[in-house]
A and B are shown apart, each in its own frame.
Chain A
Amino acid sequence: MSVSRRGLFGLAGAGVAVAGLGAAAGVLATGEQRQDAAVPASSVVPFRGQHQAGIVTPAQDRMHFVAFDVTTKDRAELVALLRAWTAAAERMTAGQEAAEGGAVGGHREAPPADTGEALDLPASALTLTIGFGPTLFDDRFGLAAKRPEALIDLPRFPRDDLDPRRGGGDICVQACANDPQVAVHAIRNLARIGFGKVAVRWSQLGFGRTSSTSTGQATPRNLFGFKDGTNNLKAEDPAALAEHVWVTGGPEWMVGGTYLVARRIRMHIEIWDRTSLAEQEDIVGRAKGSGAPLGQRDEFDQVDPHVRGAGGAALVAEDSHIRLAAENLDGAKILRRGYNFTDGSDGFGHLDAGLFFVCFNRDSRTQFVPMQQALSSRDRMMEYLEHTGSGHFACPPGLADGAFWGQRLFD
């Protein structure tokens, strides 16, 4: 029997589907008081559609991101795994258990097919998004010719301090949900299904989304205490998404997909916290309270590089974070969808905390890479940052009915 994870609510008539453009709380005029779109915790985000969920879906509160290495050498086995994953992912995002029989409905002498910790929890707007890393496109599965040119090995950026145990991977899955237990449950069950075919390479938990991806959401704060993502692309702007996020060229299997860049950015928060308010604001380029660009009044006011303060010094300094990020995208934009993290402590009396940066863009070569090169070499904030993990993945388009994850790549 199939036990609905959402117990009493049943599946039919469950919460509002929140994916899709403009479905979140209506578009508000700039400067109006923004309220977080009230997405019911029990809501279900459709798993199938033109694009994968979890990209322009209004950012949920929690994340569990995982990267796998493929261990099997057998292409058919890998395809079978992707089919099995797709079935489990679709069930879990609908608020069901990972498999028929689930946590308690199977044979008493067999281990349960679902690990059980999400029993009775609602779907919590769970989304599962898959991406394929550059290393998958070698001769193991005959995919070398299918590697998109845009799926580059990211260059080394100045001041990178990458830990090989926190980067790379053949396949990534990003789970986002409003309940951390639901996100972790999803990744745990996918990893379990994958044993013998894939192995977990690294994973990252995140909380307190650091970007708003919908005009119905207030801009959240990162662990530096600043609003982060004010100028982010929004789900309600399909023209901008078409221009900056969704792939139109390259290999056919990627049309309608997007490229995901993940960077684990450790923040030296203890040193930041000893920095004066004026200095913090100068580094970021925004007022800490309102989020307004320096020299302006409101959060959504445009940055004006032509305003100068005492002594004729630019109010938004040339090496401030927001100015470098904006000017080096050369009109291009990225969709940021990062999360805060604290992974315990570092053994030297400091929290191991920071920002797990995730962005989606149409071509990292012309969007993320030039922006990060400018930030790595000139951003004053770099004194307080250390990039410790990195990944680049090709996220295929959304799934039609009956299709499985990556089907067009393996056809």
Chain B
Amino acid sequence: MRLKDLGIGLAGLAVLIPLSACGSSGGGTGGGTAAAGGPIAVEAKDDACGLTRAEADAGTITFEVSNKGTRVTEFYLYGEGDRIMGEVENITPGLTRRLIVEVPDGGKYQTSCRPGMTGDGIRAEFTVKGSATRQVDTNTKLAEATKSYQNYINSQVEPLVAKTGEFVAAVKAGKVDEAKALFPVARTYWERIEPVAESFGDLDPRIDAREADLEAGQEFTGFHRLEKDLWVSGLQADSGAIADRLATDVNEIATRAKTVELTPLQLANGAKELLDEVATGKITGEEDIFSHTDLWDFRANVEGSAAAVNALREVVNERDPALAKTLEERFKVVTDLLDKQHTGDGYKLYTDLSEAEVKAFAEAVDALGEPISKVAEVVAQK
């Protein structure tokens, strides 16, 4: 789950996406059941947009759009406020393309053919019959969840910038020991908000790419490049420049992260994704392959996941108290295991863990991942 896939930052998206409208799984499993009357034929011309009927039952609606005109066209179904329910583009003259749209709510919609693929197009009213139009979810608890998590992100962003700054300064001053001590600390703030950070696909690889994941010709930069310099190859001529760029990129992420608005569903999925990160990266010791400080990242991922779940706690408590209890218990198992590996000012190195200890971590993370994967559905309930 990448938050960007959920359309973060897409203006005009309802803040709370009802589940039935958020899965972009077109025909759904089984191809969807056609609404009464079967597909609707659309005849698109340069100056007309004729439909065999201008109404359908709520559910899966199929349009077969034939371009009988001379210009390339496209077809849209709009909801209220020109919200796009579905569209099919690039229909060249003589071609027929299919659009299958899930419309769960009855109400007034608009169809539009756009000859030349510009302008407002040739519009017409379209009626969807059936289930009453759903009220916008004004559940204050969910709204509060969103807000509370936003506060959490902000609380992590400031120290992320500060600690990264200290780390960068130490690297540039050639203070290797100091930089080594700051490395896992700065990363902690990063790892707590990793799903948010990853939603900025342009910055994330520059800041956090692992050497093993690089593509041919891709420059190795960011935290892990400096990690390699500090622990393995010694500071390089360009370490300072790499450090400067890291500071710049982290500042940029911080600025952007403050503007991210997450839906409750995205919170739930983000909590799950943080656990996936632990299971595939940290438990295997692949994240911090040079410094072996994986347990710091592990802890931070778990804390970030817990923060997302906590933001939703009241909703989950209300709708599925048994799940809330399970989550609490299993989070505790994981954090207790982590506490056992606490040493002085941090954690035992990954390479000092026995196979049995790693296995215990893996099992606890699996046990926690399962109930976390059920939170999204609970949040999406109406």
Contacts and interface: CB of A to CB of B under 8 A. Distances in A.
B84 A268 contact: no
Given A278-B24, A294-B26, A308 B212 contact: no
A287 to B, nearest CB: 5
Interface of A: 155, 158-161, 268, 270-271, 274-279, 281-282, 287-290, 292, 294-298, 304, 306-313, 315, 317, 347-350, 373, 376-377, 380, 383
B132 interface: no
Contacts of B12: 311
Contacts of A350: 362, 366
B30 A348 contact: no
B23 interface: yes
A373 B23 CA distance: 28
Given A278-B25, A347-B359, 18 more contacts: A159-B212, A274-B370, A277-B23, A282-B5, A287-B29, A290-B31, A294-B27, A306-B89, A307-B99, A309-B102, A310-B21, A310-B84, A311-B83, A312-B87, A313-B7, A348-B283, A349-B359, A377-B215
Interface stretch (B157-165, B226-234, B272-280, B306-314): B272-280
Interface of chain A: mostly helix, strand, loop or mixed? loop
A289 B97 CA distance: 22
B27 A297 contact: yes
Closest 5 CB pairs of A and B: A278-B23, A289-B29, A274-B373, A348-B362, A295-B26
Interface in B271-295: 272, 276, 279-280, 283
B214 A158 contact: yes
Nearest to A290: B31
Interface string B72-103: 00100000000111111111000001111110
Interface of B: 1-2, 5, 7, 10, 12-13, 21-32, 62, 74, 83-91, 97-102, 212-216, 218, 269, 272, 276, 279-280, 283, 355, 358-359, 362-363, 366, 369-370, 372-373, 376-377
A279 B376 CA distance: 12
Contact of B26 (A287, A347, A380): A287
B280 A271 contact: yes
B215 A310 contact: no
16 contacts: A158-B215, A271-B279, A274-B373, A278-B23, A287-B30, A288-B29, A289-B29, A290-B31, A296-B98, A296-B100, A310-B83, A310-B84, A312-B87, A348-B359, A349-B363, A376-B215
Contacts of B13: 311
Contact of B358 (A160, A294, A348, A377): A348
A313 B32 CA distance: 19
A309 B279 contact: no
Given A270-B366, A304-B88, A349-B366, A289 B24 contact: no
A274 B369 contact: yes
B29 A290 contact: yes
B97 A347 contact: no
Best-surrounded residue of B269, B280, B283 (most CB of chain A within 10 A):
B280
Contacts of A290: 27, 29-31
Nearest to A278: B23
Best-surrounded residue of B23, B90, B97 (most CB of chain A within 10 A):
B23
A275 B26 contact: no
